[in-house]
Amino acid sequence: MEKIMKCLFMICGILTIVFVALITIFLVASGIPAIRTIGLSQFLSSTVWAPTASNPSYGILPFILSSVYGTCGALLLGVPTGILCAVFLSKMSPAKIGNIVRNVVDLLAGIPSVVYGLVGMIIIVPYVREVFNLPDGANLFSAIIVLAVMILPSVISVSETAIKAVPKEYEEASLALGATKTESIFKVVLPAAKSGIATAIVLGTGRAAGEAMAVMMVAGNVANMPKLFRSVRFLTTAVASEMSYSSGLQRQALFSIALVLFLFIMAVNIILNVVIKKGETK
């Protein structure tokens, strides 16, 4: 039985590698032709996306910057909130309140993306429009708020697990030396759990960068250069909004956008994993 399970686990691991390899090959094969036709520099650096114009232009720089700004903004809002919530759940909350908050976090993780987008469109977009006196509240700022909420379950759950995995002796030793409970948590426990917290940030980054439906509903979906209170279009929403009716070079360009998004997320994961490993070796 042990040999059978070992083989089963190995097969599952190999299948994972095969699936990733197949996805990579498909995206490369589908995305390279359009990049060759348009030109890599023109495709990545042009600020105009007008595939149906009489003189078509296929520049995705606004999409790239919108995705980068939206992901970074969501991380700036969501990661500190998620880590502090994880600290509360693991170290400070009464049992009953902690169970309630965990159930709410689990519920957030199970809510479909379209529901986040619907709530954002009904509540956040009008609120942003009224508070900042804007003609339209569907903009980058609204998208950042929705993405920040969407990454919370991943950040909270993984960070809480990492914090709980730190031996209690670390905190007890800090308290014995005269540190307060808060000082022990932030100066001893959190540094000891930094690899797990970094993993939570990686997961949150992937969720924010890869979200399409919710962002499409609250960001305005207009191919503008990104500003905080301007309607924008992300890499994901560009593919999702045009794939159903595209053809020819436009369709090939959408596959090229998917390839750029894939490489972007892969690069972020590799960089963060390298940083995590360097932190663990110190």
Give pTM, 2 decimals. 0.89
d(CA 276, CA 75): 17
The two tokens of residue 7 are 């083989």
d(CA 256, CA 221): 19
Query: For residue 110, what pLDDT is reported?
Result: 86
Query: For residue 234, what pLDDT is reported?
Result: 93
Amino acid symbol at 168: K
CA distances to 22, 81, 153, 207, 237 from 214, in Å: 27, 20, 16, 12, 9
Query: For residue 88, what pLDDT is reported?
Result: 93
Residue 68's SS3 state is helix
pLDDT digit string, tens, across residues 75-99: 999 999 999 999 999 988 888 888 8
Q: Hey, which residues does 50 pair with through a beta bridge?
A: 57
pLDDT below 70 — which residues of the chain? 276-282
Task: Print the domain residue range for 120.
Answer: 2-281
Q: What is the CATH number of the domain that holds 99?
A: 1.10.3720.10
Query: For residue 245, what pLDDT is reported?
Result: 85
CB atoms within 10 A of CB 133: 7
Bridge pairing between strands 49-50 and 57-58: antiparallel
* 81 in Cβ contact with 153 (< 8 Å): no
* 57 in Cβ contact with 45 (< 8 Å): no
CA distances to 64, 235, 255 from 263, in Å: 12, 12, 12
Query: For residue 282, what pLDDT is reported?
Result: 59
Residue 49's SS3 state is strand
Q: What's the structural domain count of the chain?
A: 1
